[in-house]
Amino acid sequence: MLLFGYMLVLIGFIFVNADEEFDIELLSEECDCRDWYGVCRKQGAEWLDENVWMYNCSSSNGANATFVGCMSPQKELISTKINKTVEGFWHACDEDDLRIRYEQEPRCLVESESYHVGSTFRLGTFQWICLDTGRWITGCFYKNETNNDVLLRIGETGYNGLIKHVCDRFVDYPGRVQYYAEVRDDVHVKHPTNKGVNQNFPPSKEELIQGKVNRWLHENSAAFVSNGEQFGARIRYLPASRSDWTKK
């Protein structure tokens, strides 16, 4: 009697187990959509993978989710197969059987301002040019007698009365560009003979310059600043590409 009861419990246990497995089967048949990872998603859901790939689920039969488009780093949705210009820069979202791909026009992002590749712009004393990989200094600005900004190319010298303006590379650090102003050494200047501490200029001349001009600059900067880790293109391979690789 005890043994019989025990067997009943055992049989019941097997049935419960079978039932559970059956439930799991049922659940997967009710899967509305499969996402890129093969996970079930509910109809009407919308999601973003890797901060770039936007999908939604429109079906109810376990079909693959719909690829909607690419999300730009500026949080603009670019629909699939569209190349769209947003605030002057193009963004392209493409799709084929093997992959989806997002690409944005390369840019230099400096102090929350975006610059096109090939364009020059000014930041303080220096003029920069934007390239795919980063920005390079192309020259330095100084003010002439009439208070106009004048551009000096690297290696050039400009004159403003007794003051010489120089834009060049540091001899010891060719990776840095400097701009400085100093009293012309080809013009005779009378000055007192007290000794100062500034090693860049004959000390008394600095005083003289400060009396002469109200703007006094000596600035330097890395000649190149990388665009950093901001990406230009992203790619995601689709399941079909895997079978392609294993074919033959």
Ligand X SMILES: *[C@@H]1O[C@H](CO)[C@@H](O)[C@H](O)[C@H]1NC(C)=O
Q: Output 150 or 225, the one with its CB closest to ligand X.
A: 150
Q: Output 19 or 96, the one with its CB closest to ligand X.
A: 96
Which positions lie near ligand X, rule CB under 6 A?
44, 46, 56, 58, 62-64, 66, 68, 83, 90, 92, 103, 144-146, 148, 150, 238-240
Q: Output 12 or 161, the one with its CB closest to ligand X.
A: 161
Q: Output 62 or 73, the one with its CB closest to ligand X.
A: 62
- Shortest spacing between CB 237 and ligand X, in angstroms: 11
- Shortest spacing between CB 221 and ligand X, in angstroms: 23
What number of other Cβ atoms are within 10 A of residue 74's Cβ? 11
Q: Output 68 or 154, the one with its CB closest to ligand X.
A: 68
- Shortest spacing between CB 122 and ligand X, in angstroms: 14
- Shortest spacing between CB 106 and ligand X, in angstroms: 11
- Shortest spacing between CB 36 and ligand X, in angstroms: 10
